[in-house]
Amino acid sequence: MPKNFNNRIKQRFIVVQILIVVSIFLLGAKSFDIQIFKAKDLAEKAENGYSRYITIKGERGQIFDRNMNELATSSDAISITANPSNIKDPGSAAKKLSKILGINRKKLQDTLSSKRMFACVAKSISPDQAEQIKGLNLEGIYFENDSKRFYPNRNLSAQVLGFTGTDNSGLEGLEYKYNSVLEGSSLKIRVKKDGNGGILELGKEKRAGLKGKSIVLTLDKKIQFLSEQILEKTVEAHQAKSGIALVMRPQTGELLSIAHFPQFNPNNFKRYNNIAFRNRAVTDAFEPGSAMKVFTAAAALENGFGPKSIFFCENGTYKIGAFTIHDTHPYDWLSMNEIIKFSSNIGVTKIGATIGDKALHNYLTAFGFGNKTQIECPGETTGSLSPYQKWSKIDAGAISFGQGVSVSAIQLISGISAIANNGVLMKPLLIKKIMSSNGEELEVYHPEKIRQVISSKSAQQVKRMMRLAVENQGTGTKAAIVGYTVCGKTGTAQKAMENGKGYSKGNYISIFTGFAPEDNPELAILVAIDEPRKQYYGGDVAAPAFKTIMTESFNYLNIPPENNEHMMALLSPGEKN
């Protein structure tokens, strides 16, 4: 009995020893597998528990005016992220957050109810919103440093600049056109998280090196501001639908102002209708009316006619087939100078008929009509100028005085500037240079000559015609500026019906465009007012706005009067002393 008992004990001891050895062997094998074969995978899993990869994007580059005033910049902002697995009551959290952030509560609750370790809640929120959310002390909600696009001058140049979306990508204007230039570079980095999944560091130093390039415009903040201010007053005074005002340097094609009214604030663009975003100076075409007459006159001068060539103006009524052309006042014989001064439709129709359809079309095309100017803005229109082979007799006559042809504001001021610039057409210039994030000039844009449209002699003769239009009895006397010789041309264009059948009886575009001084034009200006009420002639509506913009711009730029003796003669004897 005792012998059998001892044998059983020995057998059990051996079994236990075998089990211990096998267990040690298995543990060793498992340890070897973990440390050798699975070490990399397990290390990555452990690392992912307290860190994750995110893509950071550099701050967007700035947009400056010609004097390095900020027009568009980026400011510090905060983005809200979440670790949904740490949120105990997603419904309650979504209710509180949606109220502050103004986002859909149900969608936010779905996001916060997921089993993910990370979710983006809102990007680039305001400091006030961030403070409100911090006050909630919600578990699983975190704050990350970010940047937000900011327009320090609010409405200023809004249609030109455009704006960015919530992801800081350009949606309109130059922000859209030059998005690839302005947007910062991207970099994927690993960031550390705390025990609850919140980010501990975000690599601010790395983000600084990813900043986008900056753009310097030819616009002048001061001239842009006063143009917008005067335009607003003009539109409101005449109860008009809208207005445009452009200021250009004729010798270089540089745009100092592209003003619109109504305006919008790109910092809060969602509050506005999409129509407000359009840069109508570039995207919209309109019939120029009598402003087109100076180009018809220029074509005639290039074809052998002179300023004193006379044409019979039919005493105010002239029939072409079934159509009748009228003048505001009846005239008999007028020289070409007088035709422009008094803005005779009949006179300019006869000028156009005398030089021929082909010649007129060729010169209008040479001035840039019917083609894009290639200005650095999205959505530019070509306007419309049909081939001369398709013109009827009434088409040729109508085009001579600005009907049956459409132009953009940028085309019209470029053409007027060509006359001011001794017949040389310049490409409109809006971008001055592109700079790196550290201020290095990467690209510099210079004035670009397109072509010599008319001779210098013809340009001088058209200038004189335009000066006569601003002097006594001309249609543009309200644009005259004491001390300067102003050259200009009125335009009162009846608006075409939307269905393309005829013209509206009560809706006009009132235009005045010109330049000063005559001998050495410093600035060319175009003012176009859409659908003014009560008064609608360009000389009554747009000319005064032209005068004010030109006068204040000259004061700002310190451009002295041409004739000091003339200025002294206007002063009283006491003032002369």
CB burial of 368-377 (b: ≥16 within 10 Å; e: otherwise) equals: bbbeebebbb
Section 538-547 average pLDDT: 97
Residue 362: pLDDT above 60?
Answer: yes
pLDDT given at position 312: 95
| Token pair belonging to 38 | 């699975």
Q: Are strands 63-64 and 70-82 parallel, antiparallel or unpaired?
A: antiparallel
- At 243-296, the pLDDT tens digits run 999 999 999 999 999 999 999 999 999 999 999 999 999 999 999 999 999 999
- At 498-539, the pLDDT tens digits run 766 778 888 999 999 999 999 999 999 999 999 999 899 999
pLDDT higher for 194 or 409? 409
Residues 6+ apart with CB under 8 A from 146: 76, 77, 78, 79, 123, 124
Section 550-577 average pLDDT: 66
Query: 467: helix, coil or strand?
Result: helix
Residues 6+ apart with CB under 8 A from 196: 83, 86, 139, 140
Residue 64: pLDDT above 70?
Answer: yes
Q: Is 31 labeled as catalytic in the residue annotation?
A: no
Lowest-confidence segment of 71-75, 322-326, 459-463, 569-573 by average pLDDT: 569-573
pLDDT given at position 54: 60
Residue 60 has, within 13 A of its CA and on its CB side, a CA count of 30
At 200, the pLDDT band (50, 70, 90 cuts) reads very low
pLDDT given at position 569: 40
At 464, the pLDDT band (50, 70, 90 cuts) reads very high
| Token pair belonging to 530 | 């859409």
Q: Pick the most confident of 146-155, 200-209, 214-223.
A: 214-223
Catalytic residue among 290, 406, 408, 553: 290
Q: Are strands 214-217 and 51-57 parallel, antiparallel or unpaired?
A: unpaired
pLDDT given at position 572: 38
pLDDT given at position 196: 45
Give me the residue label for tokens 């663009």. 269
At 573, the pLDDT band (50, 70, 90 cuts) reads very low
Section 356-364 average pLDDT: 96
Gap between the Cα atoms of 63 and 9, Å rounded:
91
Query: 264: helix, coil or strand?
Result: coil
pLDDT given at position 365: 98
pLDDT higher for 58 or 463? 463
Residues 6+ apart with CB under 8 A from 179: 169, 170
Lowest-confidence segment of 20-24, 44-48, 422-426, 498-502 by average pLDDT: 44-48
Gap between the Cα atoms of 307 and 337, Å rounded:
5
Section 402-406 average pLDDT: 94
Maximum Cα–Cα distance across the chain: 153
466: phi then psi, degrees, rounded to nearest 5: -70, -30
Residues 6+ apart with CB under 8 A from 60: 74, 147, 149, 164, 168, 182, 183, 184, 211, 212
Residue 576: pLDDT above 50?
Answer: no
pLDDT given at position 444: 97
CA-atom Rg of the chain in angstroms: 36
At 123, the pLDDT band (50, 70, 90 cuts) reads confident
Nearest residue to 198 via CA among 145, 146, 144: 144
pLDDT given at position 567: 39
pLDDT given at position 284: 96
At 308, the pLDDT band (50, 70, 90 cuts) reads very high
pLDDT given at position 128: 81
CA angle 549, 551, 554 (to 5 degrees): 105
pLDDT given at position 141: 84
- Name the β-bridge partners of 248: 255, 524
CA angle 302, 306, 308 (to 5 degrees): 155
Gap between the Cα atoms of 257 and 251, Å rounded:
16
Section 347-360 average pLDDT: 95
pLDDT given at position 363: 98
Helical ranges in 38-196 per DSSP H: 39-50, 90-101, 105-112, 127-134, 158-161, 173-177, 179-182
pLDDT given at position 3: 59
Domains and CATH numbers, the chain: 53-76+117-213 (3.90.1310.10), 221-570 (3.40.710.10)
pLDDT given at position 4: 64
Long-range contacts of the stretch 190-193 (C-beta < 8 A, 24+): 190/51, 190/52, 190/53, 191/51, 191/52, 191/53, 191/54, 192/50, 192/51, 193/50, 193/51, 193/52
Residue 203: pLDDT above 60?
Answer: no
At 414, the pLDDT band (50, 70, 90 cuts) reads very high
At 208, the pLDDT band (50, 70, 90 cuts) reads low
- Respond yes or no on whether the N-terminal peptide bond of residue 447 is cis (omega within 30° of 0): no
CB atoms within 10 A of CB 502: 9
Give me the residue label for tokens 């409405």. 155
pLDDT given at position 34: 59
Query: 26: helix, coil or strand?
Result: helix
Give me the residue label for tokens 């004010």. 548
Residue 315: pLDDT above 70?
Answer: yes
At 418, the pLDDT band (50, 70, 90 cuts) reads very high
Give me the residue label for tokens 């087939």. 321
At 577, the pLDDT band (50, 70, 90 cuts) reads very low
Residue 8: pLDDT above 90?
Answer: no
For CA atoms 202, 207, 208, 209, give the dihedral sign. Answer: positive
At 91, the pLDDT band (50, 70, 90 cuts) reads confident
